[in-house]
Structure 1
Amino acid sequence: MVTDRQLSNLLVIGPPFSAKARQRLSEHFSKITHIESNSEPVSDELYAEADVIYGFPVNKIPSAKHVPRLKFIQLTSAGSELILASPFGKDPESKKIPILSASGVHTTAIPQHFIATTLMLFHHLQEQVVTSYVEKRWGGRIELLGENFGHRELSTQTVGFLGYGHIGRESARLAKAFGANIIVATPSGLKKAQEGYIIPGFGDPDGSIPSAWYSTNDLSSFTTFLSQSDVVLMSLPSTPATHHILNTTTIAHLKPSAVIVNVGRGDAIETNALIAALDQGRIAGAALDVTDPEPLPDGHTLYGRKNVILTPHLSGFAKDYYDHVVDILLANIRCYKEKKELLNVVERERGY
């Protein structure tokens, strides 16, 4: 008889599952079943005996009644919109089963991508690479850096963080180390401690780095935030509240010298408004790891621009990605067994 806090069966759906991961988890589970592909069928028996489901089980779990022993689902993604939109996510009975995101898995990788792409835009590195690597020539300072040739220094800039979760807080720590001024916009606009899974030594646990906090729910506050930002880092989830939060109206409040870096979800930016702002010189550039639509179609007008860096939603895929997710799963297993609050519980009403 399995007691309330015992865990016996782990069902892994989708992600790579190394021998190291199996060994790390074997002390907690007597049976571990790995379904290697999301397209591979899962038997009702495996669902019925699962205490924990780990992976990316989008459109896999038929309903809550199929998983009577399930204690929680640990996703391998920071986003949860796909499973919430699945038949299981829409099943009213499923609300009794916590869905845990992998928020925090990107704490180290994506902030480094943010720094790299921001510095590329500031130093015109993509233009220099095209000149030397593609055109195979030296290039000149005025040609590459403009009439008032020179690089922008991050130490003199104000970086505005639109969203201040794990990615935003570690990005703020890195930008602050370069000497940048940090400001933040969140729905409440209030200073807030970091929640969920935290890696010691990273991020901004107590929210002390920003010099000012603004509210995205107050248009005056939000536009003030935008008007002060030399760089806007977007690390937002995809929700009705974040959809097109940067649009024709709000982008108009940015400085002509401002750059946008989006590492969250593509639909947070109205693409046509972004293109118009770039075409008209109302912003200086953008680094987009996510787009709307995604993938961006071949030949799209955003391709080939010297002031736009496009990467195909790969900023978070570090070599050790799945090791980091197992760290989060193990932390939640400990929380469960010790009757502590689980980490990264998805709030279904908010969508993340």
Structure 2
Amino acid sequence: MAKPIIFLQREFRTEFLKKIQALAPDYLVQTTLSNDEVAQVEISVGWPKKFNDSLLASKQLKWVQSISAGVDSLPLKQFSENDILLSNGSGIHALSISEHIIGTLLSYYRGLNQAIKYQNKKEWVTDFVHYDQLAGKNLLVVGTGHIGQQLSKSIRSLGVNVYGINTTGHSAEGFIETYSIKNLTKIVTEMDIVVGILPGTADTYHIFNSDVFDQMKSSAMFVNVGRGNTVHTKELATALSNKQIAFAALDVFEEEPLPKDSPLWEIENLLITPHISGLTVDFQNKFMKIFLANLKSYLEKDALTINQVNLKNGY
């Protein structure tokens, strides 16, 4: 009988391949996969879309370890129907994304964005259109998970007042106060900065829309590093163009790569970064801490201990 396969969608260092094989000596560990081998895959690290149908049709597949934190692009309904376990990479990118957000905020408040533009034109301009200080600002984190908590921890040392929003309003470490998502439009009225760190689900689709932007201060800043489809792009563009809010920074978009003909490129008070906030130093080591712990518990107890995804909720 052919051995079951642990398939790795991306290459990992030899040291990690050895650790996987040591934990699972009865499995084949492979980074390539032929059509004939799909039926042997029991564990998939990443989701190879070209084998989507054949993997789902297989009775062998038991567990998918997503490499990213977001899983909205995966066939969650079919996973549920087939009793396939799913875990994600939540937490790996928390520090990187937090630093990206802080860099974005400082670039705006300290006029660095404007300085770069003037430098490109070889102009010495000291009369900036905008400058301010980050200290003392009220920041609302919409999504108080790993990233939100790391952001709160990092940015409080700069004198920022951090509030949070999550599904139920339950308390979370590092936040002055947390509120339920249903109160979003009420809470944003008092905030200088609103940061979206939400997963992409049916409940979060276009949750940042004109209802929210209309209630924000005209001096407020909006940042999104969650999922692109949590923002109603056209309504955000309108809010920025009409100066309903002062500035926005987007690292994720409803369509990626952002098309060259997107009107977003022309909006002066918008910073666009190409989905780079999650780029993480020593990613493999951080990811493998999650996967190896889950592999051990899977083999011993047929269960996962870290970052198991609720297939109904999508996170």
Sort the Cα spacing of 1:83 and 1:60 in 2 relative to 1 into closer, same or farther, 3 A. Answer: farther
Determine if the alignment matches structure 1 residue 32 to structure 2 residue 29.
Answer: yes
**1:240, 1:105 → 2: CA distance?**
24
**1:153, 1:58 → 2: CA distance?**
46
Sort the Cα spacing of 1:309 and 1:292 in 2 relative to 1 into closer, same or farther, 3 A. Answer: same
* Structure 1 letter corresponding to 2:101: F
Q: Does the residue aligned with 1:161 lie in a helix, a strand or coil?
A: strand
Deviation track 1:220-262 (CA, whole Å, cap 9, x = no partner) reads x222221121111111111111111111112111111110110
**1:93, 1:227 → 2: CA distance?**
42
Contact 2:79 / 2:311 at 8 angstroms: preserved in 1?
no
Residue of 124, 128, 135 corresponding to 1:138:
124
**CA positional deviation for 1:269:** 1.1
Sort the Cα spacing of 1:78 and 1:208 in 2 relative to 1 into closer, same or farther, 3 A. Answer: closer
* Matching residue of 1:346: 309
**CA positional deviation for 1:331:** 1.9
**CA positional deviation for 1:59:** 5.0
The answer for unaligned runs of 5 or more in structure 1 is 36-40, 192-206
**1:67, 1:282 → 2: CA distance?**
53
**CA positional deviation for 1:64:** 4.5
* Structure 1 letter corresponding to 2:10: P
The answer for unaligned runs of 5 or more in structure 2 is none
**2:173, 2:31 → 1: CA distance?**
42
**1:235, 1:226 → 2: CA distance?**
15
Q: TM-score, normalised by structure 1?
A: 0.81
Sort the Cα spacing of 1:294 and 1:43 in 2 relative to 1 into closer, same or farther, 3 A. Answer: closer
**CA positional deviation for 1:47:** 3.4
Determine if the alignment matches structure 1 residue 122 to structure 2 residue 109.
Answer: yes
Deviation track 1:289-344 (CA, whole Å, cap 9, x = no partner) reads 01223322114322254421101111112242233222210121233345365322
**1:92, 1:137 → 2: CA distance?**
58
Contact 1:77 / 1:102 at 8 angstroms: preserved in 2?
yes
**2:144, 2:17 → 1: CA distance?**
33
Sort the Cα spacing of 1:90 and 1:337 in 2 relative to 1 into closer, same or farther, 3 A. Answer: closer
Contact 2:79 / 2:85 at 8 angstroms: preserved in 1?
no
When the two chains are superposed, the root-mean-square deviation of aligned CA atoms in Å is 2.3
* Matching residue of 2:38: 47
Contact 1:243 / 1:269 at 8 angstroms: preserved in 2?
yes
- Alignment of structure 1 residues 138-287 onto 2, 5 Å: 138-140=124-126, 142=127, 144-146=128-130, 151-191=131-171, 207-217=172-182, 221-287=183-249
Superposed structure 1 runs of 4+ greater than 6 Å apart: none
Contact 2:206 / 2:230 at 8 angstroms: preserved in 1?
yes
**1:80, 1:215 → 2: CA distance?**
23
Contact 2:88 / 2:308 at 8 angstroms: preserved in 1?
yes
Determine if the alignment matches structure 1 residue 10 to structure 2 residue 6.
Answer: yes
**CA positional deviation for 1:178:** 1.1
